[in-house]
Structure 1
Amino acid sequence: MLGVKVNDYITSTCKISGIFVNAGDSVSCGDDLFSVESQKMSKVIKANFEGKINYVNLVKGDELIEGAFVITVDGDVIEKSDDIVVEHI
């Protein structure tokens, strides 16, 4: 199982503005996962993995918590991402 975290530079200032996946969804590398926004930025976070989503720990309007897993997935990492960290858990 993989755990997905958001990189630190995003968590310090952003709130969840949209959620595009649910538990049970299959995702491919490049698919939109969720979006974040701050006063100066809006960004869509994309998958760098493929597999099946197990759990989504995101609520629209909530602030991101540094170091927290926001999604768990059964799958494989396909490429490096500047926005998310994917770890085996």
Structure 2
Amino acid sequence: MLTGKQKRFLRSKAHHLNPIFQVGKGGVNENMTKQIREALEARELLKVSVLQNCDEDRDEVAEAIAKGAEAELVQIIGNTIVLYKESSENKQLVLP
């Protein structure tokens, strides 16, 4: 579980990132969560965009991705979800 200070730090780091995954009409599936898990291992912090044609609510999408990728949900702003997971091999961010 992240503290408020850690979430603020991660939000500031994620501000300049572009979303690398998009959730569309198909919603969240096993293959997508697997790819997000691998990307989090490499990057630790990433953004996911929820497209307009997605049938599910963005909060449900964020919860499903975070649970499937075993990641921490940092922020949901607009249709963008920010996720964080500490990397076991490629540690880049040091949390306050």
With the length of structure 1 as denominator, give the TM-score of the two structures.
0.30
Greater C-alpha Rg: 2
Question: Which structure is higher in strand share?
Answer: 1
* Higher-helix-fraction structure: 2
Normalising to structure 2: TM-score of the pair? Answer: 0.29
